[in-house]
Amino acid sequence: MKEIKVFHKAINHVADTAAKIKKENKKIIGYLCSYAPEELIYAAGFHPMRLFSSKSDIILAESHLQAYCCSLVRGVLEDSLSGRLDFLDGTIFPHTCDSIQRLSDIWRMNEKYEFFADVVLPAKLNTASARTYMLDVMVRFKNDLETATGNKITDSDLHNAINTFNLIRKNLSRIYALKSQNPNIIKGADLYAIVKGSMIMGKDELVTLLPEIVANLEKINPPETQGKRIVVSGSICDSPDIYTVIEEAGGFIVGDDLCTGQRWFEGQIIEDQDPLKAIAQRYIDRMTCPAKHSSTTLRGENIVSLAQNNKADGVIFMLLKFCDPHAFDYPYLKEVLDKGNIKNMRVEMDDQQQNLGQLSTRLETFIHMI
């Protein structure tokens, strides 16, 4: 499908994607975490772009971050220090895991880009004061953006951003639903390209492309082949090869609990409310990652219902090495899945990992076993 090729091109040539956005006179604000309030960045006239590691060897970042920090923060810092992110005009760091917070300190001290903000969101989300605090954080961030641009962000700007992000999220949810209904409808690597591309590409382009992809997918009905239905869980998954490895082993990814997947795009912002309150509310209501808290059982209930609703044969935890928040949550999530007789396995990955050989063998064994 020609629309999907656009996504592959965008993620394989990020500097070109950035140059295209700059031609539209948009400044680019990078972020590493799905708690970054992209709607406000967009409403301010900037382009929010999620940063992924280019997977180059870590050399310059070694003198700033210990080897036991996750490969995402080390890789992105390496890219910044080596000039591969020179297209950025600014960066924002939501207050989430320790690694992102420490990276934020190093980033601020290096002063490479024009705009910098820490967005200090509440960690505990299930209280009335958290709601008030979340709204205050959004107001403060909006003020920071207004100071940077010298322009007011109006309610109309915010409503436009909400409509845009709701449309993007609705279409991504639809593509996932179609894939879950018939996993043959789209290859895993294409799905990966669409989701990753949606975090990188111009939002106005996505508003056109994503509904076209949905309309095309709705027209086709490829024969279903037998295969094991897999849900993946973790922080980020930035390895298209994993999708292919799983498919070659006889599995299909039919859902995920990833912050580069459903946790990022699920949940609509209410459109007929005060826009800033509505944006804040979505960040309270969205499925949490282990860096946030809203209940001691929510993540477990979510992974079980994801597996059940997608009729999954198994769950694969794909954890980045040295990602403590997800490593801490893993035993509890495993226990919940085991109690529900949902087969599961854990693999540890590294952003710089090029050779998936041993991992492939383990994934194949698991898929054959379930």
Q: Does 35 sit near ligand SF4 (CB under 6 A)?
A: yes
Phi-psi map region of 86: left, alpha, beta (phi>0 left; psi -120 to 50 alpha): alpha
Of the pair 26, 196, the CB lying nearest ligand SF4 is at: 196
Using CB under 6 A as the binding rule, whether residue 75 contacts ligand SF4 is answered as: no
Q: Do residues 61 and 74 touch, judged by C-beta distance below 8 A? A: yes
As given in the structure block, the two tokens for residue 279 are 């944006």
Applying CB under 6 A, among 291, 312, 333, 349 the residue interacting with ligand SF4 is 291
> What are residue 66's phi and psi, to 5 degrees?
-65, 160
x/- mask, ligand SF4, residues 250-279, rule CB under 6 A, reads ---------x--------------------
Positive or negative torsion for Cα 114, 27, 88, 269: positive
By the rule CB under 6 A, 49 interacts with ligand SF4: no
**Which of 31-39, 138-146, 183-191, 307-315 is the region at the interface with ligand SF4 (rule: CB under 6 A)?**
31-39
To the nearest whole angstrom, how small is the minimum distance from the Cβ of residue 289 to ligand SF4?
3
Q: Which is nearer to ligand SF4, 75 or 251 (CB)?
A: 75
Q: Which is nearer to ligand SF4, 236 or 245 (CB)?
A: 236
Q: Which stretch binds ligand SF4 (CB under 6 A): 80-88, 92-100, 105-113, 154-162?
A: 92-100
Q: What is the CA radius of gyration of the chain?
A: 20
Of 187-216, binders to ligand SF4 (CB under 6 A) are: none
Among 18, 21, 76, 100, contact with ligand SF4 (rule: CB under 6 A): 100
CA nearest 314: which of 260, 368, 242? 368
235 sits near ligand SF4 (criterion: CB under 6 A): yes
CA distance 137 to 131: 10
Region near ligand SF4 per CB under 6 A, out of 32-40, 118-126, 179-187, 237-245: 32-40
Please tell me whether residue 125 binds ligand SF4 under the rule CB under 6 A. no
Instruction: Name which position in 320, 337, 349, 367 contacts ligand SF4 (CB under 6 A).
Output: 320
* Residue 260 C-beta: closest distance to ligand SF4, Å: 8
Q: Which is nearer to ligand SF4, 160 or 353 (CB)?
A: 353
Note whether 70 binds ligand SF4 by CB under 6 A.
yes
99 lies in the binding site for ligand SF4 (CB under 6 A): yes
| Cα 27-83-146 angle, rounded to 5 deg | 25
Whole-angstrom Cα distance, residue 32 to residue 104? Answer: 10
Of 125 and 217, the one with the shorter C-beta distance to ligand SF4 is 125
Interface pick for ligand SF4 out of 4, 28, 41, 97 (rule CB under 6 A): 97
Q: Is 299 in the site for ligand SF4 (CB under 6 A)?
A: no
> Footprint of ligand SF4 on this chain (CB under 6 A)?
33-35, 70, 72-73, 96-97, 99-100, 235-236, 259, 289, 291, 320, 323, 325-326
